[in-house]
Amino acid sequence: MLLAEWEGSAGLPGDAADQPVAVPPGCQFDTLTVRVEWDVAAEDLDLEIVNPDGAVEGSSGAFNLQSGDASETAVIASPVSGEYIARVNNFAGVQTPFTGKATLECTTPGGCLAGDNVANDDDVPGPALAPDTRVIVSVIDSAINPYHEFYYAGSAIYADAAPSAVTPAVLQELGVRDENILELTRSGNLQADVEADAAIWASVKRGETYWVKGTNVVFISYAGGELAPLAPSTDKSAHGVGTSAAVLLANPEAVILFVETEGALGSDVAHDFAFLHPAVDILTTSYGVSIPNTGFPLPEWRTFHNSYPAVVEMGKLHFSSGGNGPGLTPLRAGAGPWWSIGVSGVEEGTSEGRAALSGLFPDFLSDFTQDLPYCHDAEDCYSNVGGTSFSTPRAAGVASRVLLDARRLSAHKGGIREHQGQAVMVASEGLSISNWLLRRALEQAAFVPDSLAYDPVSGVTDIVGIPINPLAPWLQVGWGDLTADPEKGVVSAALAHLGYPGDAREKALGFCEFQTEVIAVRKLYWDNIAATLPDVLGGDAPPPALDEDPFIYCESMLPF
């Protein structure tokens, strides 16, 4: 629903230009989005959304000169009726003209779009459709190759059935309009196919969602600089091709909401969109601060923008990479905060050893080295790539498999919803599963690598796989390996711990004792210490400790 469009001028550095934005009564909207654009990125403008009580509720303040993107987008969840202010703050411009646009979105099935009190327009995808049982995983990364055979029927993961998770209801939830459904030319020659589809790529706009017909992939671009949004190019990193594929290897039935951020990785606008999107269940991020050209992670003290409200307030799961070196995963901005899930690596299928070049004291391990699609210059290219960049989305994919199965078993339709005052991932008669409960089930279900299965020869040829200590494996593996291998029983065990049919897993007491202490240290650092340190690299200052801790500890006897 389009609320307002306007033009303005930001005056001099330090000045602000306010635009009233009125949210109408009578409907419960999921998000209020404000976007401003101007011509020259160096004339840096910032954006705030001030709520009717006068408090800043949403903001976006990227370093535009660095990103090359002359725009800012701020998003807030569950806006109330009343007058908001879209405030444009001049950081480095002089009388910089800009345009602004404010929109409301309701994606909750049976919500405001189902009635007659909100008129349809170009920003609303029509009357609400009955929701489907689905799971949506958002991958924030460099770029994706939408021509790659991996995403289509006939590939290894869709050998028996075409991908079918993206339904009309899912397209509506993700705001994909009919004209943004892309049917690409696929002859096997990428260069020729991109040229044949030149008109399609010329029409693609930043900040709009698109679906690639024939895949389970919806994508949006917040790429920086002059890069053509979403179009495959060797000027873009193939990292995002690999991370999106790692999710689908674990769960081919997941819907991927891919957020392209080449040239602007970790930008506020990308995090606003993905972390606060009401349809997203799980997020996976594979970046952080490292020593240049090494991947060795450095300590951080600001959290990923909007990770806290996404998890603690909106009920999502956030998986983030533990780093490609023996640094401390609990001190990473993405993987470290207690509400997020840090993932390191294990060499599945080769040495079965702990990946030495992955962060210490994670929540979980997952497959460190995988054969993945990894290119922007062909439609059938694969590489053997390693890193927590890929073990992390693999773990997120396993979690999405558990969630999707639980929703099917409970006849849960749609995504996260409110149940008895709490955001829950699954709700049915007599049962509700929060993100904290699902996380606890994954902890109990994670597979503990067998030290006797270790292959020392492969340990050398791997990216250094070291044996697991059989006396205290928790020191190396956290809760264990979130593996997609059905023989290792993670999905079955997680479902059993949630009360569904499956084979439950018991763990030695040392896992609970050690991991509880790790969480206690993470809480101490992120709740009490990190916010007192100077802001150097950007991100969100972690909020103080909550009066009521939502985290479900292993000693709580939940799940049963």
Distance CA 153, CA 149 (A): 8
Whether 143 and 46 share a structural domain: no
Of all helices (H) and strands (E), which one includes residue 426? strand 426-428
Same domain, 145 and 29: no
Same domain for 484 and 371, yes or no, is yes
What lies within 8 Å, CB to CB, of 506 at 6+ separation is none
Indicate whether 294 pLDDT > 70.
no
pLDDT given at position 131: 87
Judged against a pLDDT cut of 90, whether residue 463 lies above it is answered with no
Residues 357-369: what's their mean pLDDT? 95
Measured between alpha carbons, how far apart are the two ends of the chain, in Å?
44
Q: Residue 104: enclosing H or E segment and its boundaries?
A: strand 97-105
CA gap 136, 253 in Å, rounded:
9
- Is residue 458 one of the residues assigned to a domain? no
Sequence length of the chain is 560
Which helix (H) or strand (E) element contains residue 19?
Answer: strand 16-23
pLDDT at position 119 over 60: no
Pairing of strands 417-419, 255-260: unpaired
Mean pLDDT score across all residues of the chain: 90
Cα(507)–Cα(437) distance, rounded to whole angstroms? 17
CB count in 10 Å sphere of residue 80: 15
Instruction: Report the pLDDT averaged over residues 268-272.
Output: 92
Say if residue 189 is in the same domain as residue 94. Answer: no
Q: Are residues 212 and 86 in the same domain?
A: no
Query: What whole-number distance in Å separates Cα of residue 170 and Cα of residue 414?
Result: 8
Quote the pLDDT of residue 549: 94
Question: What does the pLDDT average to over 180-188?
Answer: 97
CA torsion sign for 300, 64, 319, 452 is negative
Same domain as 493, residue 372 = yes
d(CA 40, CA 56): 26
Q: At residue 117, does pLDDT exceed 50? A: no
What integer pLDDT is reported at residue 449 of this predicted model? Answer: 94
* pLDDT value of residue 296: 64
Q: What are phi and psi of 103, to 5 degrees?
A: -135, 150
Helix 388-410 and helix 435-445, axial crossing angle in degrees, nearest 10: 110
Same domain, 309 and 180: yes
CATH number at residue 84: 2.60.120.380
For residue 462, tell me if it sits in a domain.
no
Calpha distance 62→48 (Å, rounded): 12
Q: Quick check: is 113 in a domain?
A: no
Assess contact for 77 and 309: CB atoms under 8 A. yes
**Residue-level pLDDT at 152:** 98
Using the structure block, give the residue that is written with the tokens 């392209």: 260
* Each residue's pLDDT tens digit, 44-88: 999 999 998 899 998 888 777 777 788 999 999 888 878 899 999
Q: What is the CATH number of the domain that holds 262?
A: 3.40.50.200
Asked if omega into 456 is within 30° of 0 (cis), the reply is no
Domain identity same for 151 and 100: no
What is the mean predicted confidence (pLDDT) over 467-479?
Answer: 95
Are 174 and 257 in contact by the 8 Å Cβ rule? The answer is yes
- What is the pLDDT confidence band of residue 114, given thresholds at 50, 70 and 90? very low
Domain closes at, from 105, 126, 160: 105
451 in any annotated domain: no
Contact 361, 518 (CB under 8 A): yes
State which of 105, 126, 149 marks the end of a domain.
105
* 414-450 pLDDT tens trace: 999 988 889 999 998 888 999 999 999 999 999 999 9
466 within some domain? no
pLDDT in tens, 296-312: 667 889 999 999 999 99
- On whether both 528 and 484 belong to a single domain, the answer is yes
Ramachandran quadrant class, 223 (left: phi over 0; alpha: psi -120 to 50; beta: rest):
beta
Which two three-digit tokens encode residue 97?
């003209």
Alpha helices, DSSP H only, in 33-141?
Answer: 64-67
d(CA 233, CA 205): 16
Residue 417 falls within a domain, yes or no? no
> Are residue 12 and residue 145 in the same domain, yes or no?
no
Residue-level pLDDT at 4? 84
Q: What is the pLDDT of residue 226?
A: 84
Q: Counting Cβ atoms within 10 Å, is residue 29 exposed (0-12), middle (13-18) or buried (19+)?
A: buried
Question: Both 88 and 235 in a single domain?
Answer: no
386 falls within a domain: yes
Range of the domain at 45: 2-105
User: Lowest mean pLDDT: which of 21-25, 218-222, 472-476?
Assistant: 21-25
- Closest Cα to residue 275, out of 238, 307, 246? 307
The model's pLDDT over 376-391, given as tens digits with 9 standing for 90+, comes to 999 999 999 999 999 9
Of the ranges 224-228, 252-256, 382-386, 521-525, which one carries the lowest mean pLDDT score? 224-228
Cβ atoms < 10 Å from Cβ of 506: 6
Question: Considering the domain boundaries, does residue 268 fall inside one?
Answer: yes
Q: What is the pLDDT of residues 345-354, one digit of tens each?
A: 999 999 999 9
What global pTM score does this model have? Answer: 0.80
Look up residue 289 and give its two tokens: 């601060």
Closest CA to 23 of 95, 91, 88, 102: 102
Q: Please give the C-alpha separations between residue 515 and each of 161, 267, 450, in angstroms, as whole numbers.
A: 40, 31, 19
- What is the band of 34 on the pLDDT scale with cuts at 50, 70, 90? very high
> Of 65 and 474, which is predicted with more confidence?
474
Count of domains forming the chain: 2
User: What is the Cα–Cα distance from 524 to 527, expressed in whole angstroms?
Assistant: 6
- In this prediction, residues 217-232 reach a mean pLDDT of 93
Check residue 555 and give its pLDDT.
81
Asked if 263 and 386 sit in the same domain, the reply is yes
